[in-house]
Structure 1
């Protein structure tokens, strides 16, 4: 509760400072220098929890180093197919760089909000898969958020399997992430990549180690966050130690 109140107070303060920064021309000055990483990050600090500003800044909510790596990966695979657990500014960013983006969202309110944002992107398919009303026997499908007590995310996790497709890029940035990683592996195309966000959280370490995938960790600055975070990119390993 204390952490939540502190977060809410921080966001409220940043919103007020953002209005001031807009009036004195600071935001415009930073936007004209977006090609400079530090300037982009400072500008993005004013966009915390503001999906429209993040879309305008053309960034997902991963670390900058991971963003650069994924950008290069997509550039090397024209018309890439993408599956995403958890929608937002990243959905638009991906749609601008991939052939098709299939995103699954668990929050109906957020799903409704995203409809107008994706309307001009015919290559986005956004589905809403809300939590199962009863608790699964498998704890992998549970969420640690108190608001989801007594519910589970088995249907949500298996949304990727129900498409019957494989994907060049799979983004795990929603609920029940260890379960999503486990299921996503069978849906990963040859040479594909998985983006697992917020891996600074210790509870994700075991899932990544157990995956058997080659993991590259990218820590550091993250758009809109005043502290460093970590995004991990995972790929299949070859017998000679390389990844594919």
Structure 2
């Protein structure tokens, strides 16, 4: 992302928060609507919730495309004992905790981890761990982040955090740092029939890892909470063997 894009993004977020603060005293944002039954109304309301974890939790959505949210929710309904591992915590952690048997999440931002922990304090089945980026002289660039502002930072400990837990996971969410490395490392931890949620999968730096994974990809492009333009989330599965 260029500096101009970053400035434009920050300006948009600031403008939406100002509009939110102006509307709050009028009660215009108090009532929430069902994300499935009133998709466009929910989306319009969510625009004021950008970068606002409390508002997104109240709206009961993660930050994926709506079609991906629907499919993952249906998947979790079919697996009431589902185990989830999540790279990148936030409102999605609370959403998953309501729908899965267990959720283990990791994040590289210590302050964000503490905030998320307070928001999921009522869920005994959800845990968020802080895993910092590697030391500056870490030699293994395969764990490097391609995100602007993280040049030269690697996240091997973060990527490998899933190794601290035993067993397979029904759902793995990749929505944090070093996503290509997370996919390469975690794909073999999927339970039979499991799903990987890979958010923002249209970004060029992620496409080679998705293509090389050998996983079947379902691309779900469209409206996403908080975003004024369409986004893309992919669901990845182990391909079914030919009968």
| Structure 1 length-normalised TM | 0.93
Task: Classify 1:122/1:33 alpha carbon distance in 2 versus 1 (closer, same or farther; 3 Å).
Answer: closer
Structure-1 residue corresponding to 2:110: 108
Which sits farther off after the overlay, 158-167 or 78-87?
Answer: 158-167
8 Å CA contact retained: 1:59, 1:223: yes
Give 1:141's match in structure 2, choosing from 140, 143, 152.
Answer: 143
Give 1:240's match in structure 2, choosing from 236, 239, 242.
Answer: 242
Q: C-alpha separation between the residues in 2 aligned to 1:208 and 1:33? A: 32
Equivalent pairs, count: 240
TM-superposition CA deviations, 1:10-45 (whole Å, max 9, x none) = 11111111123233443246x256530000000000
Give 2:191's match in structure 1, choosing from 189, 195, 201.
Answer: 189
- Does residue 98 in structure 1 map to residue 100 in structure 2? yes
- Does residue 21 in structure 1 map to residue 23 in structure 2? yes
Task: Classify 1:20/1:62 alpha carbon distance in 2 versus 1 (closer, same or farther; 3 Å).
Answer: same
Determine helix, strand or coil for the equivalent of 2:201.
coil
Determine helix, strand or coil for the equivalent of 1:45.
helix
Q: Which runs of 5+ in 2 are unaligned?
A: none
TM-superposition CA deviations, 1:54-86 (whole Å, max 9, x none) = 000000000000000000000000120000000
Give 1:231's match in structure 2, choosing from 233, 239, 243.
Answer: 233
Structure-1 residue corresponding to 2:90: 88
8 Å CA contact retained: 1:220, 1:228: yes
Q: Which runs of 5+ in 1 are unaligned?
A: none
Determine helix, strand or coil for the equivalent of 1:190.
strand
Task: Classify 1:13/1:202 alpha carbon distance in 2 versus 1 (closer, same or farther; 3 Å).
Answer: same
- Does residue 173 in structure 1 map to residue 169 in structure 2? no
Task: Classify 1:235/1:192 alpha carbon distance in 2 versus 1 (closer, same or farther; 3 Å).
Answer: same
Determine helix, strand or coil for the equivalent of 1:234.
strand
| Structure 2 length-normalised TM | 0.94
Task: Classify 1:202/1:145 alpha carbon distance in 2 versus 1 (closer, same or farther; 3 Å).
Answer: closer
TM-superposition CA deviations, 1:77-128 (whole Å, max 9, x none) = 0120000000000000000000000001111111111121111111011111
Structure-1 residue corresponding to 2:11: 9
TM-superposition CA deviations, 1:127-169 (whole Å, max 9, x none) = 1110011344433200123533333101100001221221000
Q: C-alpha separation between the residues in 2 aligned to 1:84 and 1:149? A: 23
Give the alignment's Cα RMSD to 1 decimal.
Answer: 1.5
- Does residue 42 in structure 1 map to residue 47 in structure 2? no
Q: C-alpha separation between the residues in 2 aligned to 1:76 and 1:56? A: 24
Task: Classify 1:25/1:196 alpha carbon distance in 2 versus 1 (closer, same or farther; 3 Å).
Answer: same
8 Å CA contact retained: 1:136, 1:142: no
Structure-1 residue corresponding to 2:81: 79
